[in-house]
Amino acid sequence: MKRKAISFYSKFHCIGSKCPSNCCQNWVIRIDDETHKHMMREAFPKNLKYRIFTVNEAGGFHHIRTIAGKCPYLRAGLCSFQWNHRMDLMPQICQVYPRRVVSYGSEAEISLELSCIHAAELFLETEGRLTYEEVEDDTIIMWEQGNQDPSFLTFLQESRERMLDYLWEDSHGSLVERQEALYDYVLSIHRFIVRDQIENAAQVKCKPRDKGAGETFFYPISFLNQILLQDVSFAESSKKNPTLHHLIDLYIKHAGKLYEDEAEEVFKIWYQEMITAYPKLEDTYLKYFSYVLQQIYTESYEDYHVLRKMLEALWFVDVWKLLDTVSYQVEGKAQNKTKELDPGNQSDSLVDEELSDSYSTNWADTSEEAKRLAAVERGFRHRLRLHDIFLERARQEILS
């Protein structure tokens, strides 16, 4: 099978015990049937400990019973199976993560999940447009997109390249203007696809809106607000995703007070302030949008639902931007001020008194940005139940 990997893939190695946010916690860690049989047969015959640590759910799959959210096999930041050189006894998802291998018939694409903080750092450090390059690799394929329509796959790959070419052209305006153009493009091709008119879809071009509305976010703030306040379990995130919990907490305290009709304007100002202080961030969000499209757009090979993938990609970027914007207002801006002014003089900033006024790291450091990105990826990309809720909301409020 031909395999292609995203450009920074080869740089990744798990940093294990040095990782500030080890992934062996706060997930449901599934044990695939094959590994489970293998474990039972070879590693743990009649082993009570193993039986205590695994659970067979009503849905029929086994997963590891975590203790205080952590995998009980975690030892000094590394998996016990790794310590014992028995990687083959690790559940497949643990062997593979954060590598993401998706196969489409005779070829597969490999990228990295940015919910891994080290992968997120590498992503942020890699400049410019990322590409898939042919590689020799034997990572287990965890996702198979089945369809017997190779011409549709070719169409999707060409359509994705067309979008990325448009996205990365500097003369095409702000990030949101480019996103609007791509959304309109995908909406047009979606209409042809549902009528089984792929030839017509292939003729559609990306083009700017006649009159962009000059938005800062693709989705209205009120729409993003509903998802953050109503659909994400704030209580649950405190243990499972402390960084996301902290970001949503900042959002509730500082943006939750805004009225709907003033929120758009306020966020426009806040976002502009952040971009003025850190101009490269807009490029980072563009790179992220591009990366998400590279990862998920061709997954519509199976269900032909290109519009869903576009809506999701736009949503992930907006959520990250929104939470970054609030975080900058409360933490980044305060940090800049403490550098410039008397630390006591913060009267016009949104400084949260509970927050520490001495910061050991810079708000915009790659490691800090990676923390926020990984938290958003973990909290939104990996919460499939949330995707359905989001899509239903988008259907009612964006598409209607």
Residues in contact with ligand SF4 by CB under 6 A are 14-16, 19, 21-23, 97-98, 116-118
Calculate the CA 55 to chain-centre distance: 28
Taking the least distance from each CB to ligand SF4, the nearer of 14 and 306 is 14
Sole residue written with tokens 């001495």 = 358
Burial of 83 (0-12, 13-18, 19+ CB in 10 A): exposed
Q: Shortest approach of ligand SF4 to residue 24 CB, angstroms? A: 7
Give the number of other CB atoms < 10 A from CB of residue 127: 10
Q: Is 214 left (phi over 0), alpha (psi -120 to 50) or beta?
A: left
Taking the least distance from each CB to ligand SF4, the nearer of 117 and 201 is 117
Q: Is 116 left (phi over 0), alpha (psi -120 to 50) or beta?
A: beta
Q: How far is CA 375 from CA 162, 242, 272, 316, 370, in A?
A: 30, 8, 23, 11, 8
Taking the least distance from each CB to ligand SF4, the nearer of 96 and 198 is 96
Q: Shortest approach of ligand SF4 to residue 13 CB, angstroms? A: 8
Q: Shortest approach of ligand SF4 to residue 340 CB, angstroms? A: 35
Q: Shortest approach of ligand SF4 to residue 82 CB, angstroms? A: 10
Q: Shortest approach of ligand SF4 to residue 97 CB, angstroms? A: 6
Residue 79 near residue 90 (C-beta atoms within 8 A)? yes
Residue 183 near residue 218 (C-beta atoms within 8 A)? yes
Taking the least distance from each CB to ligand SF4, the nearer of 14 and 232 is 14
Across 205-221, b (16+ Cβ under 10 Å) vs e yields ebeeeeeeeebbbbbbb
Taking the least distance from each CB to ligand SF4, the nearer of 16 and 72 is 16
Q: Shortest approach of ligand SF4 to residue 12 CB, angstroms? A: 8
Choose among 25, 51, 7: nearest CA to 164. Answer: 7
Q: Shortest approach of ligand SF4 to residue 386 CB, angstroms? A: 21
Identity of residue 319: V
Choose among 41, 89, 33, 40: nearest CA to 63. Answer: 33
Q: Edge-to-edge, what's the strand order for the sheet holding 62-64?
A: 30-31, 62-64, 54-56
Cis peptide, bond prior to residue 98, ω within 30 of zero:
yes
Taking the least distance from each CB to ligand SF4, the nearer of 118 and 371 is 118
DSSP secondary structure, 283-326, as one string = HHHHHHHHHHHHHHGGGGGTT--HHHHHHHHHHHHHHHHHHHHH
Taking the least distance from each CB to ligand SF4, the nearer of 81 and 219 is 81
The CA distance from 266 to 245, in Å, is 22
Taking the least distance from each CB to ligand SF4, the nearer of 22 and 335 is 22
Taking the least distance from each CB to ligand SF4, the nearer of 190 and 371 is 371
The CA distance from 13 to 205, in Å, is 39
Taking the least distance from each CB to ligand SF4, the nearer of 97 and 185 is 97
Q: Shortest approach of ligand SF4 to residue 77 CB, angstroms? A: 7
Q: Shortest approach of ligand SF4 to residue 21 CB, angstroms? A: 6
Q: Shortest approach of ligand SF4 to residue 353 CB, angstroms? A: 32
Which tokens belong to 277?
A: 């202080």
